[in-house]
Amino acid sequence: MDVLHSAGVRVAQHLQSGFNEYEDWFMFASNVADLHTPYFVFFPIWFHLQSKVGVKLVWVAVIGDWLNLVLKWVLFGERPYWWVHETNFYGSSQRPVLKQFPVTCETGPGSPSGHAMGSAGVWYVMISAILTLASQRNHSTLQTGCLRVLLWSLFCAIELLVCMARVYLAAHFPHQVIAGVISGILVAELFDKVQWIYGASLKKYIITTVFLFSFALGFYLLLKVVGVDLLWTLEKARRWCVRPDWVHMDTTPFASLLRNLGTLFGLGLALSINAPLYQASYRGKQVHGAPFRLGCIVVSLLALRLLDLVPIPEEQELLLYALSFCKSAAVPLMVVWVAPGCLSQLFTVKKKKAQW
């Protein structure tokens, strides 16, 4: 692996020296590839346009990131920013110098890349949804083919940018981002064949949430019993990050796990509360018109923006996990229940006034 890692370091050095003028673009691509964007931006938009796609987005993101966590614990992937300091590969030779950034010092293992895996899965779902909607319209074969080529070319360009960004930032080796993209596509493809999630009850959401948490915790404890420390990367991050304030506890594996499980539980709770409206939308019946749905999107995005401003203290680990779960659970509640509920009341009041 040292040969593969050293080749990856050379790629990172080449990107940092030859493409440093695109640093802002790489930072932007890395931030957008984080699962924060699908939850806080893509999900509100898609849920109120095509609720089925919104639900699928959440499931692909949650299961994909959970699988990513398990794979990272199994594969023990290094990260470039600490590997160059600890490897014996270079012997007495001068070690390569890699520049670090505020988002470089993630605390979990590196393989496969969570950013690449998450973005690949999410964008695969969205592009597939657009193509499905386009196929339902009376377009010519040429138009459909051109749209397909255009959108999948866009997908490739986005994933290439994300992969380059993660390598440029010294957060991943090239083989880790490639593995992430492939894994993300496979998860999205899997959910093309899964239909029960669209009619799942709150009980199924709770059972799934508990199972995912129990499996991850049980796997962690099992490996710990046999002498494997799955938090080995946290010490490396603290030791080799050039700035201590760049090491964030919310990037630890369990913080990420609780955020995702909170989102999944919140979705199940919100759908159970707002079941009639969701079921009608799922069956293709638009209960409300375009102005209402557009209003729901705007209100949801504004509400989530305010929620995003609420800080979570990182000093106490258990408190961080609990608040991360609760804050993430609030996201689908605001999108699925609060925003439509508030606008329904507003539209009802206006309708009554118009009748007077």
The answer to whether residues 80 and 98 touch, using CB atoms and an 8 Å cutoff, is yes
Q: Which residues lie closer than 8 Å to 327 by C-beta, 6 or more apart? A: 259, 262, 307, 310, 312
Q: What angle do CA 201, 70, 67 make, to 5 degrees?
A: 45
DSSP string across 212-257: HHHHHHHHHHHHHHTT--TTHHHHHHHHH-SSGGG--GGGSHHHHH
Annotated binding site: 79, 166
Choosing from 5, 48, 85, 172, the catalytic residue is: 172
The answer to whether residues 130 and 148 touch, using CB atoms and an 8 Å cutoff, is no
* Catalytic-residue membership of 85: no
Choosing from 5, 48, 115, 175, the catalytic residue is: 115
What is d(CA 348, CA 20) in angstroms, rounded to the nearest whole number? 54
The token pair at 1 is 């692996």
The number of beta carbons lying within 10 Å of the beta carbon of residue 331 is 26
Angle separating helix axes 253-273 and 202-225, nearest 10 degrees: 170
Q: What are the helix (H) ranges across the chain?
A: 2-18, 23-33, 36-37, 43-49, 51-75, 80-86, 114-135, 141-168, 174-192, 202-225, 232-240, 253-273, 275-282, 290-308, 317-333, 339-355
* Catalytic-residue membership of 36: no
What is d(CA 107, CA 240) in angstroms, rounded to the nearest whole number? 11
Annotated binding site for substrate: 79, 166
Q: Which residues lie closer than 8 Å to 340 by C-beta, 6 or more apart? A: 48, 274, 277, 288, 296
The answer to whether residues 105 and 247 touch, using CB atoms and an 8 Å cutoff, is yes
Among candidates 184, 167, 185, which has minimal Cα distance to 175?
167
Catalytic residue numbers, as ranges: 115, 172
